[in-house]
Amino acid sequence: MIKSKLQRCDTLLEQINIRKSQLNQKLIEFQSEKENQESKIEELKAELDKVNDSIDELNKTVSEYRNDLNDLRVENSKITKSISENRERYHKSKSNLEALKNITERYEGYGNSIKKVMELKENKKGIIGVVADIIKVEKKYEVAIETALGGNIQNIVTDTETTAKDTIEYLKKNRYGRATFLPLSSMSNKTNFNAPDALEEKGVVGLASDLVEIKKEYEGVAKYLLGRVMVVDTIDNAISIERKYRYTVRIVTLEGEYLNVGGSISGGAFKNNSNLLGRRREIEEIEKSLTKLKKEKEDLDKQLLKNKSESGVLSEEEEKINKALQEQMIIKNTLEINLKQANARKDSIMLEYQSFEQENSDMQSEI
């Protein structure tokens, strides 16, 4: 009976040892698989970290591109507005220039006889132009010089007395009126100013003839018309000079008061609606302004074109980055799925491992 029991126990023990050996083998295999799975998980995590870093970098780059594109759009908007304002100023100035040129070419503001003579200018050699055509003066002296010239501003400059005589005959024949002519051949370049010491007095700007810009061949006209007139800053200084020199000098102030020999004074509100002397200057100023506006427009157009080109390049780069970003997101999703599956497989291995380990422990107790 005991012997039989011993034999059963020996058989059972042998079976248990065989099973235990199998379990140990299984535990070794599971341990190896667990380690492999953990290694795989670490690799997947490392790849995922790398992909996340790449995504962060791409997001940063695409954000920079978007900021640059936005800056360019804002700048382009400003440039477009500036171009529009430039165009408006240009057309307005061009319109003013055309109107002023039209007035100047038609000699508006001049007497009828002057206009008729100027119509001959292109076909008749020797007619140089009116005084206002040959004299240039700074804006700050315009009032004084035009006051000093008075009606002489409409005098007609010719090359010789013969031209003047022929033109007078033309006016008489056609009953166009009268005009005063200044033949260059009879104009002297000498200044016969009778009180040179007066030029050193307080407030004196200078002789009117010295304050104008004129070609050398026409200097005699300037000396003849303006060489005896002093320009003084204020009427108070002008009166003081007149008193000192016993009313023997002609003075004009910057504001247009005229103090003549003998003591008479002309003045008041200066109305120069025709602005005969300033027309040429205004034309030059507007032409310079138009040239400047044109250059400004060209620069703005170039900058706008450059910005649009840069915007195109940035948009292409942004598109490439977005495409790369999408690819990285796909890789990231795949890695996350694989990592999830690897962790699930590891958990499954651990459960089986723990189950076999429990069975092994139970068998050890049974043994």
CA 34 to chain CA centroid, nearest Å: 70
> Encoding tokens for residue 151?
């009606």
pLDDT at 151 over 60: yes
- How would you classify the pairing of strands 229-232 and 204-207? antiparallel
> How confident is the model over 233-267, as pLDDT tens digits?
999 999 999 999 999 999 999 999 999 998 899 88
> How confident is the model over 61-116, as pLDDT tens digits?
889 989 999 999 999 999 999 999 999 999 999 999 999 999 888 888 889 999 99
Per-residue pLDDT at 298: 95
> Encoding tokens for residue 242?
């007149």
CA-CA distance, 218 to 98, in Å (whole number)?
Answer: 28
Per-residue pLDDT at 30: 67
pLDDT: is 10 or 323 the higher one?
A: 323
Which 8-state DSSP code applies to residue 130?
E
pLDDT at 284 over 60: yes
Arithmetic mean of pLDDT over the chain: 87
Reported pTM: 0.68
Which amino acid is located at 260 in the chain? N
Mean pLDDT of the 318-344 span: 87
> Encoding tokens for residue 156?
């007609």
Count Cβ neighbours within 10 Å for each residue of 223-234 and write b for 16 or more, e otherwise. bbbbbbbbbbee
Going by pLDDT thresholds of 50, 70 and 90, the confidence category of residue 13 is low
Residue with token string 């060489």: 227
Per-residue pLDDT at 243: 94
Q: What is the total residue count of the chain?
A: 367
pLDDT at 292 over 90: yes
Per-residue pLDDT at 355: 65
> How confident is the model over 332-344, as pLDDT tens digits?
898 888 888 878 8
